[in-house]
Structure 1
Amino acid sequence: MNIAGLSRPVGCPLAILLLASVSGCAAQSSPTASTKTEPKPIPVRTVSVTERAIPRTTTQPATVYPYFRAEIRPRVSGYVADLEADIGDVVGAGDVLAIVDVPEMLEQRNIIDARIARNQAREQQATAGVTLAQANVKSAESRLGQAESEVHRAKAHLAAADAEFTRIDDLVKRQSLESRMLDESRKKRDGDRASLKAVTSAIEAARADVGVAKANELSAQADLQAARSETAISESQRKEIDVLIGYATIRAPFDGIVTERTIDPGDLVTVNQDDRKGKPLFVISQVDRVRVHVPVPEAEAAFVNPGDPVTLTFPSFSGEKAIDASVTRLAHALDPSTRTMLVEVEVPNPRRKLIPGLFGQATITLESRASANVLPARAVRFSEQGQAYVYVVGDDETVSIAEVTTGHDDGQTIQIVSGVEKDAQVIDAHLKRFTDGQRVRRLEN
């Protein structure tokens, strides 16, 4: 047996065991090897999740509209004789925009003027006829009065003749007078009776003349009234044609800016039965004060009230301060196609910076308020994916990371919808990142 060959496999394990034993003893006896110490707790300040009433807001798209907008369409047909305004011109109420040439209307007015002159002449003639008829009535009435006077006189003469005849007849019977005297008295009485009949007939004729004269007067009055009516009709026609001629001068209905023009000098403009057909000649927009339309969804429409604060922002003016305004009026009805309610905000625009059609956003602060849990904005962190979270400090002063859902953010405080409960303690603003289970030391606030 070769010993030397056996000694290597046996000797090597023993040496290894001896070395391990020696090194273990050395490690136990080394003064530098000690138990690993825990890191010191990081001092932090904490804030509590508190409950408070926060305003309810809604942010919706907003569009600028002119305060007033008028589409100017023709009321008369003709050729454009003169153009007084163009796109971008600032006009005042009543300023002339264009003039339409209407020569046929001017000729119609001349015809009406001639008709009025003729009717006025007829009025004068009828007035003279009335005067003549009235004079004839007076003359007939005078003749009637004269005839009535003659009747009274004839009756008196007849009465005297009757008395004379009776007296003479009595004397003749007494033979105090000759019968010839009675005959003469009878003839005189008969003559007076004939005169009374003649005067009575004259009265009837005079009365008939009065009736005819009065009838003529009524006829003359009717002719005069007819002439006046014809004159009034002609004058009304002249007023109507004057109104139409006035429409030939196209004027601005209010102060504003010409935002559209579709005619040139010499163009033919015609009147459409449907005023909404065809392009307008001009469009005038009043923009020194504008209306901002905000469609509010059905879920929030019931909470909007006139006077609610509104903050308007426009991408075109991203570097400028937001515009503060208030709700002016509501539609009080939902649009069936969009299920939104129109909210209108009036905004002064003296520099005309807000152009009709400009798009932006409106944040309306609703009147109703709700209780919610809030934290200072500095205590809420956000991951690279945009997930909000907070460091919650337990009673044992250990940290736990809690993901939270945020709501209203006014820049100072953030609403915590879910993730932590009221009165929970979370780490305030801190430069370090923390991990679950990490111990901290809470400082007094």
Structure 2
Amino acid sequence: MQTRALRTGGFDLLVSGLLAACLLTLCGCTSDRAIAKKEKATHVVPVKTVAVETTQVQRSTLQPATVHAFYRAEIRAKASGFVKNLQADIGDYVEAGAKLAEIDVPEMLMQRQVIDKRIERLIAEEQRGQAGVRLAEARVRSAQALLAEASSQMAGAEASLAASQAEFDRTEDLVERGSLQNRMLDESRMKRDSEAARRDAMASSIESAKAEVAVAEAQVVAAQAASDAAQAETEIERSQRQEMDALLDYATLRAPFAGVVTQRNLEPGDLVRQSNEVGRGQPLFVISQVDRVRVRIAVPEAEAALVNPGDEVTLTFPSFSAAQPIVAAVTRTSGSLDPSTRTMLVEVELDNQDGKLLPGMFGQASIHLDSKVAAQTLPSRAIRFDEEGNGYVYVVGEDETIARADITTGLDDGNSIEVLSGIEPGQRVVGPHLKRFSDGQKVAVLPN
């Protein structure tokens, strides 16, 4: 029993020793952390400060910008055939109306020859019709002459009849008195009746001549109608020839305006087909006018109403990072928002005689929206924003300790931001700095 008691006492001593060692270790760790925390608390971060100041600010919007050709035309075929002559390639500068390529269209040339022959035949028919008109008019004149002659003879016959009738009346009176024999009355009657018959014959001749005139005049009308029909047919064929000439002209692809060939999608010998739908398939050529370009900017809805033609625009392009920004003016606005993007299209026209601005180039456009106004501002990099977009600054007190202050911001010109509330003019705040600070933290203010 004594031996058991000794063993138990030894075990207790061992456990007590281990516990004491652990306590010493924990105490040492706690002491080290406290020391480190104390050293950290006493570390002073050097900072530079800026003060709220009154400056002139101008509201602007910074948006992506894209260069576009002033005019861009897609050249497509209006005639079908094989490419027989290619006269332009990409990068070539062409004048308005310059030939780009020619399409071989033998079928259309044959159709034009057929139209030419039809026109020749119709011209011959037209000439024959005019000759028929002249012949019919001559017949009218002849019939009118016969009518005039018959009318003249009719007048003579009527005069003779009147004379014969007067002689008959006198003879009859003398016979009744017994001064003349009945034989003389019979002779006078026969003469009168003969003149009456001649007068009736002349009347028939007049009616026949009138009928001849009417027939001849109808022939003139018919001949003139035939001639007019031939002329109309000739005009129709000439119109068809003009249409064919226009189609043949389409076989020569021409530049619609002076510009640069930016695309060529055909080779000599290619079969091209007439394009009936605009925008369907690849164009044969693309011509772009680049001596003057359009810079297009999509302005968000919130600022679209503030953009007006004439507003100042500053353009920068990564391709010319070392060059001075281009200062221009808004040329025009679309005046409406794109429903899909809720943005308004703004265009700026620029001279590009040196050809440096290429269609498709990307850049940045800063549009000045309002006139300059006096405002309390801070440098843009001195203002921080939290996850919700709220602005705040680190105010440096007289004892050089930090105090976070929430602020309300206003206009932003890209360099300075207007401070509407949250701090007072003249207060110092931490300038651009990567470190986050906590309230009460000590800093060392460096001279500016």
Please give the TM-score of this superposition, normalised by the length of structure 1.
0.79
Whether 1:297 aligns to 2:291 is no
Structure 1 residue 359 displacement after superposition: 1.2
Q: Partner amino acid for 2:88?
A: A
Identical-pair percentage: 54
Q: 1:188 aligns with which of 186, 191, 205?
A: 191
Alpha-carbon separation, structure 2, partners of 1:389 and 1:186: 149
Q: CA 1:427 to 1:100, structure 2 compared with 1: closer, same or farther past 3 Å? A: closer
SS of aligned partner of 2:59:
strand
Q: Which residue of 1 aligns with 2:125?
A: 122
Contact 1:67 1:289 in 2 (8 A): yes
Give ranges in structure 2 of 5+ residues lacking alignment: 1-48, 385-390, 432-439
Q: How many residues align?
A: 384
Q: Which residue of 1 aligns with 2:6?
A: none
Structure 1 residue 54 displacement after superposition: 2.2
Contact 1:305 1:367 in 2 (8 A): no
Q: Which residue of 1 aligns with 2:259?
A: 256
Q: 1:221 aligns with which of 220, 224, 233?
A: 224
Whether 1:95 aligns to 2:98 is yes
CA deviation profile, 1:21-41 (whole Å, cap 9, x unmatched): xxxxxxxxxxxxxxxxxxxxx
Structure 1 residue 315 displacement after superposition: 1.6
Q: 1:318 aligns with which of 321, 342, 353?
A: 321
Q: CA 1:350 to 1:420, structure 2 compared with 1: closer, same or farther past 3 Å? A: same
Alpha-carbon separation, structure 2, partners of 1:280 and 1:411: 43
Q: Partner amino acid for 2:293?
A: V
Q: Which residue of 2 aligns with 1:424?
A: 426
Q: Which residue of 2 aligns with 1:204?
A: 207
Q: How does 1:79-94 map to 2 (within 5 A)?
A: 79-94=82-97
Q: CA 1:245 to 1:344, structure 2 compared with 1: closer, same or farther past 3 Å? A: same
Structure 1 residue 101 displacement after superposition: 0.4
Q: Which residue of 1 aligns with 2:335?
A: 332
Alpha-carbon separation, structure 2, partners of 1:439 and 1:99: 80
Q: Which residue of 2 aligns with 1:9?
A: none
Q: CA 1:276 to 1:47, structure 2 compared with 1: closer, same or farther past 3 Å? A: closer
Q: 1:288 aligns with which of 291, 301, 310?
A: 291
- Report which stretch shifted further, 248-257 or 46-55: 46-55
SS of aligned partner of 2:65:
strand
Alpha-carbon separation, structure 2, partners of 1:233 and 1:341: 51
Q: Partner amino acid for 2:329?
A: S
Q: CA 1:398 to 1:189, structure 2 compared with 1: closer, same or farther past 3 Å? A: same
CA deviation profile, 1:234-263 (whole Å, cap 9, x unmatched): 111111111011111100111111111110
Q: Which residue of 2 aligns with 1:33?
A: none
Whether 1:242 aligns to 2:264 is no
Whether 1:146 aligns to 2:164 is no
SS of aligned partner of 1:272:
coil
Alpha-carbon separation, structure 2, partners of 1:427 and 1:163: 147
Structure 1 residue 414 displacement after superposition: 5.2
Alpha-carbon separation, structure 2, partners of 1:358 and 1:439: 47
Contact 2:100 2:254 in 1 (8 A): yes
Alpha-carbon separation, structure 2, partners of 1:298 and 1:439: 45
Q: CA 1:166 to 1:390, structure 2 compared with 1: closer, same or farther past 3 Å? A: same
Contact 2:58 2:413 in 1 (8 A): no
Whether 1:161 aligns to 2:164 is yes
Contact 1:99 1:248 in 2 (8 A): yes
Structure 1 residue 87 displacement after superposition: 1.1
Q: Which residue of 1 aligns with 2:25?
A: none
Q: Which residue of 1 aligns with 2:37?
A: none
Structure 1 residue 72 displacement after superposition: 0.4
Structure 1 residue 372 displacement after superposition: 2.9
SS of aligned partner of 1:242:
helix
Please give the TM-score of this superposition, normalised by the length of structure 2.
0.78
- Who wins on radius of gyration, i.e. which is larger? 1
Alpha-carbon separation, structure 2, partners of 1:110 and 1:381: 82
Structure 1 residue 277 displacement after superposition: 1.5
Q: 1:69 aligns with which of 69, 72, 75?
A: 72
SS of aligned partner of 2:111:
helix
Give ranges in structure 1 of 5+ residues lacking alignment: 1-45, 430-434, 441-445
Alpha-carbon separation, structure 1, partners of 2:156 and 2:90: 97
SS of aligned partner of 2:369:
strand
Structure 1 residue 149 displacement after superposition: 1.2
Q: Which residue of 1 aligns with 2:134?
A: 131
Q: CA 1:167 to 1:110, structure 2 compared with 1: closer, same or farther past 3 Å? A: same
SS of aligned partner of 1:265:
coil
Alpha-carbon separation, structure 2, partners of 1:177 and 1:184: 12
Structure 1 residue 275 displacement after superposition: 2.8
Alpha-carbon separation, structure 2, partners of 1:64 and 1:438: 49
- Report which stretch shifted further, 242-251 or 140-149: 140-149
Alpha-carbon separation, structure 2, partners of 1:410 and 1:334: 24
Contact 1:327 1:343 in 2 (8 A): yes
Q: How does 1:276-425 map to 2 (within 5 A)?
A: 276-367=279-370, 372-375=375-378, 401=402, 415-421=418-424, 423-425=425-427
- Report which stretch shifted further, 68-77 or 138-147: 138-147
Q: Partner amino acid for 1:204?
A: E
Contact 1:402 1:419 in 2 (8 A): no
SS of aligned partner of 2:82:
strand
Whether 1:110 aligns to 2:113 is yes
Q: Partner amino acid for 1:69?
A: R
Contact 1:292 1:345 in 2 (8 A): yes
Alpha-carbon separation, structure 2, partners of 1:224 and 1:268: 45
Alpha-carbon separation, structure 2, partners of 1:411 and 1:295: 18
Q: Partner amino acid for 2:364?
A: Q
CA deviation profile, 1:135-162 (whole Å, cap 9, x unmatched): 1111111111111111111111111111
Q: Partner amino acid for 1:281?
A: L
